Amino acid sequence: MRSASREKSPKPGRRRRSRGHALQALRGLHWIVVAGLWVAAFWLGYIGFAHYFALSGSPRSIGDLVYLSLQLFVLESGAVASPAPWPLEIARLLAPAIAGYTAIRALAALFREQLGRLRLRFLRGHVLVVGLGRKGLLLARTLRERGERVIAVERNEDNEHVAACRSARIPVVIGDARQARVLESVRVERAARVIAVCGSDGVNAEILTRISGLCRRSGRRGPACLAHIVDTHLCRLLRRRELSRSDTEPRRIDFFNVFESGASAMLSIHPIRADASRDGIVVIGLQELGENVVSEAIRHWSWGDDPVATPLRVVIVDPQAHARTESLLIRRPLLRQTARLEPHQMALDSPEFRRAEFLFDENGTCPIAGVYVCVHDDSAGLAAALQLHQRLHQQLPREKVAIIVAMTHDEGLATLLSDEEAAADHLARLCAFGLLMRTCDPELLFAGTIEKIARAIHADYLRQARLRNESFADNPSAVEWHELDESLRESNRLQALHIGAKLTAIGCELDDLVEEEPEAFCFTGEELEQLARMEHDRWLEEKRATGWQYAPAPKNPELKTSPDMLPWQQLPESSRQKDRHAVIALPRLLASAGFSIVRRERNSRS
């Protein structure tokens, strides 16, 4: 039974859209108000002059009154002997004011681009959104609503989203972001963040490379950069290579894929509700999103908070189910050990699909814990979900199997589904998942690989501090991430960025975490000591660069002193042990971001 508060409270996305529609309506009324003031000023002037000349005994013709009223707008006719009638008093103040306002707005519109470029010269700490497709427009608007200074860069001036972006008061620079002059014109080296969401993987990757080179030549650290990569496997490869860099240049480049992050969000919001009688899921559509849903579901099933020992049964329904399932198994052969993939090849508009026999076992019961509809077309996905829901309701009216439909936005057909859900209780388990709205959240996107690992590093540090019974008074770093000083957050990020150099030093590298036990990797005693020393040396160099010095305990962040500001040979054993623990925890921390450590010899054989 739904609570009244849930029924009445609007969704955050709807509140934002309502505010956006209200602003658009106000902007549409703006020039109507201005035109009304022009008419009011003219009419008050006309009445005022007619009254003034009538009282003075020298009435004027209609033409003269019209001419004099128009002259009010250019300060030519308002100087009359006192006392002037009140309509004329108002008109000779209102007319030049509204004329001046209109002139300024007209000049601003005429020189908008030049003024915009002038403002760009003084920008600092802004966010660049490169590419104004659906994702780019959504990100730009979301960032703008959150108070960020946003600049959009779009190559195609005829892109329909350019006007929509400008109407939201977001400056748009027309140009190819792969060209240095375009990047320099938007002051990329002074930007806080850059999001590349062009339609091509190659273009997005090239933009990040150009930005990195430009910032290196200018001697600046540069912005945190994020690029969308459509190919999920390429996205993982680029992310892994970036984290595996053996150099220690603290650049911030990360990659994201809406299908990968969408699958993760979908399973987090709508997890598998399994019990003794339900050991499987159904995935409708095995394209980019469907593949990621299968992988994420298996990861939740085998490695989640409540792992299940038996393999997950995954029923795959797709017009090319056999070929796509085989392709998935070739790329991920260990899936055969952790899941039972059952492909059912059929069209979504076929009688076979309407019968939906894949939902039931030989006894006519439904052993499915959830259905995830992952097709590209919103209409086709909603139609498929409704057919499956109807079929389940016909055969098992008391069963409420969750059916989650991935849709482009939390609006349109998704809104229709929400309205139907509110109207009919038997649709209570039919849910729409807005893919772009859920995945194009800037805060989530920029909490990327490095950020995830940095947070995991601090969470592990906090656990160890609590085991040592350290309080905030003893250790100011022993607080939750959201309470942590930004300089300490940055220290955790730098530690995460150094992982590639550590692993390279001992002949190891990162691989995608698939089905292996993350704790299966163990460092040798010699490797452990080498990496612990490397971590201490890195930390020591970082602290010295920010003005820290040695002083006996306790550590004093205000004075920037620490008893650990010593070479490794002089470091107390208790402090060395902290560095060793940071190394021992690496496999588990990397697993939280989807990576595992492998030795190069073994990886080359595989």
Q: Which residue has the higher pLDDT, 120 or 582?
A: 582
pLDDT tens for 152-206 read 999 998 998 998 998 888 989 999 999 999 998 888 888 988 999 998 999 998 9
For 392-415, b where at least 16 C-beta lie within 10 A, e where not — what string?
beeeeeeebbbbbbbbbbbbebbb
Burial letters for 329-348: b for 16+ Cβ neighbours within 10 Å, e otherwise?
Answer: eeebeebeebbebebbebeb
Please name the amino acid found at residue 461: Y
Sheet strand arrangement including 339-345: 339-345, 312-318, 280-284, 368-373, 402-407, 430-434
User: What pLDDT, on the 0 to 100 scale, is given for residue 606?
Assistant: 45
Residues 6+ apart with CB under 8 A from 226: 193, 194, 195, 196, 253, 254, 255, 256, 445, 446, 448
CA torsion through residues 496, 498, 500, 506, sign = negative
pTM value?
0.65
pLDDT, tens digit (0-9, with 9 covering 90-100), for 522-578: 899 999 999 999 999 999 999 998 899 999 878 888 888 999 999 999 999 989 998
Confidence of residue 342 (pLDDT cuts 50, 70, 90): very high
Q: Could you tell me which of 565, 387, 582, 588 has the C-alpha nearest to residue 465? A: 582
What would the pLDDT profile of 255-300 be if each residue is shown by its tens digit?
A: 888 888 888 888 888 888 767 678 899 999 999 899 999 988 887 7
d(CA 259, CA 293): 9
Task: State residue 604's pLDDT score.
Answer: 47
Q: Report angle CA 293, 297, 299 to the nearest 5 degrees.
A: 120
Q: What is the pLDDT of residue 3?
A: 36
pLDDT at 4: 36
| Strands 595-599 vs 224-228: parallel, antiparallel or unpaired | unpaired
Instruction: Place 28 in a pLDDT band, splitting at 50, 70 and 90.
Output: low
Structure tokens of 99?
A: 């004329």
Express each pLDDT in 201-223 by its tens digit: 999 989 998 998 888 887 777 78
SS3 382: helix
The reported pLDDT for the residue numbered 110 is: 67
Q: Is a pLDDT exceeding 60 seen at residue 506?
A: yes
323 phi, psi to nearest 5 deg? -65, -40
Summarised one tens digit per residue, pLDDT across range 313-323 is 999 999 999 99
Q: Is the pLDDT of residue 131 over 90?
A: yes
User: d(Cα 277, Cα 366) in Å, to the nearest integer?
Assistant: 8
